[in-house]
Copies of this chain bind each other. A is one copy, B any other.
Amino acid sequence: MPELRRDPVVGRWVIISTERGRRPSDFGRPQASREPGFCPFCPGHEEKTPPEVFAVREKDSRPNGPGWMVRVVSNKFPALEIEGELNRRGEGIYDKMNGVGAHEVVIESPDHDRELSDHTVEQISLVLTAYRARMIDLARDKRFRYIQVFKNHGEAAGASLEHSHTQIVATPIVPRRILEELKGCQQHFAMKERCIFCDIIDQELSIGKRVVVENKDYLAIQPFAARFPFETWILPKAHQGAFEQAFQGNFYSLARILKETLMRINLTLSGPPYNFVVHTSPCNENNGPSPYHWHLEIMPKLTRVAGFEWGTGFYINPTPPEDAAAYLRDTQVPAESLSMPRVGM
* A148 contacts B17, C-beta separation under 8 Å: no
Q: Contacts A176-B313, A184-B8 known; A27 to B94 CB distance under 8 Å?
A: no
Min CB distance, A287 to chain B, in Å? Answer: 22
Segment from A41-49, A57-65, A314-322 that makes contact with B:
A314-322
Does A18 lie at the interface of the complex (its beta carbon under 8 Å from any beta carbon of B)? yes
Residues from chain B with Cβ under 8 Å of A13 in the complex? 225, 314
* A15 contacts B315, C-beta separation under 8 Å: yes
Task: Report the Cα distance A91→B180, complex, angstroms.
Answer: 23
Task: Report the Cα distance A178→B314, complex, angstroms.
Answer: 10
Task: Report the Cα distance A18→B323, complex, angstroms.
Answer: 9
Does A22 lie at the interface of the complex (its beta carbon under 8 Å from any beta carbon of B)? yes
* Contact indicator per residue, chain A 257-270, by CB within 8 Å of chain B (1) or not (0): 00000000000111
* A11 contacts B184, C-beta separation under 8 Å: yes
Task: Report the Cα distance A99→B94, complex, angstroms.
Answer: 39
Q: Contacts A6-B225, A225-B13, A317-B15 known; A307 to B180 CB distance under 8 Å?
A: no
Min CB distance, A155 to chain B, in Å? Answer: 8
Q: Contacts A14-B314, A316-B17, A323-B21 known; A7 to B308 CB distance under 8 Å?
A: no
Does A88 lie at the interface of the complex (its beta carbon under 8 Å from any beta carbon of B)? no
Segment from A108-116, A129-137, A298-306 that makes contact with B:
A298-306
Which residue on B lies nearest to A150, using beta carbons?
Answer: B307
Does A224 lie at the interface of the complex (its beta carbon under 8 Å from any beta carbon of B)? yes
* B229 contacts A308, C-beta separation under 8 Å: no
* A268 contacts B200, C-beta separation under 8 Å: no
* B20 contacts A318, C-beta separation under 8 Å: yes
A binding-site residues for B, Cβ under 8 Å: 3, 5-18, 20-24, 26-28, 79, 91-94, 146, 148, 150-152, 156-159, 167, 169, 171, 175-178, 180-181, 183-185, 188, 196-197, 199-200, 203, 207, 223-227, 229-230, 268-270, 272, 275-279, 297, 299, 302-308, 310-321, 323, 327
Task: Using A24-B230, A178-B312 as known contacts, list a sample of 7 further A-B pairs with CB atoms less than 8 Å apart, ordered by residue number in A.
Answer: A9-B184, A9-B188, A10-B184, A14-B227, A148-B311, A150-B306, A176-B313
Q: Can you offer 10 A-B residue contacts whose CB atoms are under 8 A? A: A8-B199, A9-B181, A15-B315, A18-B320, A24-B230, A93-B200, A176-B313, A176-B314, A178-B312, A277-B311
